[in-house]
Chain A
């Protein structure tokens, strides 16, 4: 059975990610030990909280180097969820300008309400406008709704890395995909059937 690692870097709720993956039939390891990255075939970086805290925790716990090695040299399929997607960027602005993992070129910015009466944070179900086919979104109809809850969003430097956008404050990037590296701004583990489909797609990469 494929083993999937859920990185525990003390940034919020891993329970629901674990249970969703188990529902999809995966053998899940939630671990705080970066050495565990060597024994798995898939990696998930979940997380809620601020960008700066996220990176600080990854650095302090010794994850950063192992993540970069696994994702770039060993090409292990890697999925960042919510804050985990944002951390893939070069730079974040939440909690002061901070360097990210730099796995997908871009920055993370706070929503600017547009039109001005738009409410931030962006909370609730919103759709994906799929701009590029990727195995991660296989079988998921365009305009399917997923659950979002966030105030910051990924600004990709290269449109080739963008697999889907979502209409809010203009359009923002909701799925990034670059070779074996993926990120979703929404929470597949909280998105019911569409979310399960996405997780199963990831597990079968």
Chain B
């Protein structure tokens, strides 16, 4: 059976890794390459690397760095940040990315999703959606690293990106991000109920139970997290062991190898 994936997210800004709270207050947490090497040795299910300043600075991703990182990565690698045209996607795939996330550009040029899916296949196009809860309880999508309200309701947008050919959705709660207080389960549910493509839950994981909630209550196909892996001693393997103890199917890795690292 298909396993639930646990995906560490690495946010990359000005050549270093960072992690913030609510898409702000960035803390520097080290260099990219050593982190990728460690996750690769630990055989994580998948890895996400997002260049959070590319889109804000209106520049293209740094392909040389991407090549350097992907050379060390023998697990699936998703790249994002600053992806605003077909040529950038092509170059990122050539530099070793397996999947590409599109966020701001999807709102600005929705046709890009379709073009990219037709050219490279839906399976490598992940649309990333950042959302915030409104006073009336509905969720609004934001672009440009959480800075720009788009007026789009999350369920409507999720359905649109699916129709346009996205292969997966990464849904992040802007308010929960970095708080380690748990995923926004209502937000995740609103997306998983509306689409039939896999959904990756993101934003807020701080305890093992949070991952289980996102899968059981949110119906997420995969769970992404950053802070818990950066700021606590928890590892992706422990998350998977916990999920497994609670009846969720996860990929069996070679425990003895992992512990000998």
Q: Mark A114-127, 1 if CB is under 8 A from B, else 0.
A: 00010111111111
Interface size on A, residues (CB 8 A): 37
Cβ of A195 within 8 Å of any chain B Cβ, yes or no, is yes
B198 touches A119 (CB 8 A): yes
- Given A149-B99, A193-B43: A124 touches B123 (CB 8 Å cut-off): no
Q: Which residues of A contact B196 (CB under 8 A)?
A: 113, 117, 119-120
Q: Please, which residue of chain A has its CB at the minimum distance from the CB of B76?
A: A190
Q: Which residues of B contact A192 (CB under 8 A)?
A: 43, 74-75, 253
B-side interface mostly: loop
Q: Please, which residue of chain A has its CB at the minimum distance from the CB of B192?
A: A119
Determine, out of B17-25, B89-97, B145-153, B176-184, the stretch whose residues face the partner at the interface: B89-97
Q: Mark B119-135, 1 if CB is under 8 A from A, else 0.
A: 11111100000000000
Query: CB < 8 Å: which of A53, A119, A121, A193 contacts B123?
Result: A121
Q: Which residues of B contact A193 (CB under 8 A)?
A: 43, 254, 257
Q: Mark B81-101, 1 if CB is under 8 A from A, else 0.
A: 000000000000111111100
Q: Please, which residue of chain B has its CB at the minimum distance from the CB of A118?
A: B196
B2 touches A190 (CB 8 A): no
Interface size on B, residues (CB 8 A): 41
Q: Mark B216-258, 1 if CB is under 8 A from A, else 0.
A: 0000011000000000000000000000000000011110010
CA distance A82 to B98 in the complex (A): 13
A16 to chain B, nearest CB (A): 6
A61 to chain B, nearest CB (A): 17
B250 to chain A, nearest CB (A): 8
Q: Please, which residue of chain B has its CB at the minimum distance from the CB of A195?
A: B74
CA distance A189 to B5 in the complex (A): 18
Task: Kindly name the residue among B4, B95, B118, B124 whose own CB sees the greatest number of chain A CB atoms within 10 A.
Answer: B124
Cβ of A25 within 8 Å of any chain B Cβ, yes or no, is no
B221 touches A123 (CB 8 A): yes
CA distance A193 to B120 in the complex (A): 27
B120 touches A49 (CB 8 A): yes
Q: Please, which residue of chain B has its CB at the minimum distance from the CB of A119?
A: B198
A124 touches B222 (CB 8 A): yes
Query: CB < 8 Å: which of B71, B75, B121 contacts A49?
Result: B121
B99 touches A19 (CB 8 A): no
CA distance A145 to B71 in the complex (A): 22
Q: Please, which residue of chain B has its CB at the minimum distance from the CB of A51?
A: B121
Q: Mark A10-27, 1 if CB is under 8 A from B, else 0.
A: 001101100110010000
CA distance A53 to B117 in the complex (A): 12
Question: 4 closest pairs, A vs B, by CB?
Answer: A125-B251, A15-B96, A149-B123, A125-B3
Other A-B contacts than A124-B45, A126-B3, 7 sampled, CB-CB below 8 A, are A13-B97, A15-B67, A15-B70, A15-B95, A49-B119, A53-B119, A192-B74
28 contacts between A and B (CB under 8 A): A12-B93, A12-B124, A13-B97, A13-B98, A15-B95, A16-B96, A23-B74, A50-B118, A83-B121, A113-B196, A119-B196, A121-B168, A121-B197, A123-B123, A124-B2, A124-B198, A126-B1, A126-B3, A145-B252, A147-B76, A150-B123, A151-B121, A151-B122, A151-B123, A151-B167, A190-B76, A192-B253, A195-B74
